Amino acid sequence: MNEHRVTLSPIVTTILENRSIDVLDIRSIFDFTQSFIPFSLCIPESEPDFLVHVRKIFPHPRGILVIGNHATIPQSIVDAIHQVGGHIVDYVNFHEWSDGGYPLLSIETMDIEDILEGSSIFIDVRTKLEWENKNIRGSIHIPLSEIRDIAKTMEPTTTYVTYCAGVYRGLNGAALMRSQGLTVRYLVNGLNAWYNNHSK
């Protein structure tokens, strides 16, 4: 699929103010955490189970704007988005956005070794069933699908830590909260890392 060269001004308004589309960043996790467009969510194009994660991150997709580093969107990405009922409304090269001086954010990650128990509030962004089955003691359950609305009522001076079972929902929960001005960190490898560490 060829890149659509777009005038970024209306795209900026749509993403930052109207928020009427979903924004998918297909760059690497490292690149995303270092610098991402507000309200965008990350599933790298290199992810072997890309379709599985698209279903989890975008269960009810709207039009999707894709962010990447290349001049084209891989056909496999287009096909996966179509399979979950979404459609691509446009494509923006990340460097075009960053070179234009438009807003960018970053996400601070943390490993198990960085955790000081009691110093942060843990947010579990998995499904209710997953949370009831196993969770980090004292964590708050807010499904990823509700973060966009509930984050507005959260305390901006509190430090939050998002997690899921592994990677993408926790990472993207942090991205959504960060996009709304909250102080948040992402627990790398989530619940799996927590229980692997606490079972030693």
**Within this chain, do residues 171 and 154 fall inside the same structural domain, yes or no?**
yes
**Within this chain, do residues 78 and 150 fall inside the same structural domain, yes or no?**
no
> Per the confidence metrics, is the pTM higher than 0.85?
yes
Task: Please check the confidence at residue 199 and state whether its pLDDT lies above 60.
Answer: no
Extract the runs of DSSP E, i.e. beta strands, from the chain: 22-25, 40-42, 63-68, 87-93, 108-110, 121-124, 140-141, 159-163, 183-187
**Within this chain, do residues 91 and 162 fall inside the same structural domain, yes or no?**
no
Which of 59, 76, 99 is the last residue before a domain boundary? Answer: 99
**Within this chain, do residues 79 and 157 fall inside the same structural domain, yes or no?**
no
**Within this chain, do residues 146 and 81 fall inside the same structural domain, yes or no?**
no
3-state secondary structure (DSSP) of residue 193: helix
| Residue pLDDT, tens place only, 153-171 | 898 889 999 999 889 999 9
d(CA 9, CA 37): 14
Q: Is 2 among the domain residues?
A: no
**Within this chain, do residues 68 and 126 fall inside the same structural domain, yes or no?**
no
Number of domain units in the chain: 2
d(CA 107, CA 185): 6
**Within this chain, do residues 129 and 159 fall inside the same structural domain, yes or no?**
yes
Task: Please check the confidence at residue 3 and state whether its pLDDT lies above 60.
Answer: no
| Residue pLDDT, tens place only, 119-147 | 789 999 999 999 999 998 889 999 998 99
Cα dist from 156 to 4, 28, 180, 184, 189, whole Å:
37, 28, 9, 9, 25
Which of 54, 73, 99 is the last residue before a domain boundary? Answer: 99
| Residue pLDDT, tens place only, 57-107 | 998 888 999 999 988 888 999 999 999 999 999 899 999 999 989 999 999
Which of 99, 123, 149 is the last residue before a domain boundary? Answer: 99
Instruction: Using pLDDT thresholds of 50, 70 and 90, give the confidence band for residue 1.
Output: very low
**Within this chain, do residues 66 and 38 fall inside the same structural domain, yes or no?**
yes
Q: Is 3 among the domain residues?
A: no
Is pLDDT larger for residue 14 or for residue 174? 174
**Within this chain, do residues 138 and 185 fall inside the same structural domain, yes or no?**
yes
The residues, ordered by sequence, that sit 6+ positions from 187 with a Cβ below 8 Å of its Cβ are 109, 110, 112, 115, 122, 161, 162, 163, 170, 193, 194
Instruction: Give the residue numbers spanning the domain of 170.
Output: 108-198
Q: Is 147 among the domain residues?
A: yes
**Within this chain, do residues 12 and 85 fall inside the same structural domain, yes or no?**
yes
Q: Is 77 among the domain residues?
A: yes
Q: Is 1 among the domain residues?
A: no
Q: Is 18 among the domain residues?
A: yes
**Within this chain, do residues 92 and 116 fall inside the same structural domain, yes or no?**
no
CATH number at 173 reads 3.40.250.10
Q: Is 133 among the domain residues?
A: yes
Q: Is residue 163 within 8 Å of 124, Cβ to Cβ?
A: yes
**Within this chain, do residues 87 and 66 fall inside the same structural domain, yes or no?**
yes
Mean pLDDT for the chain overall: 87
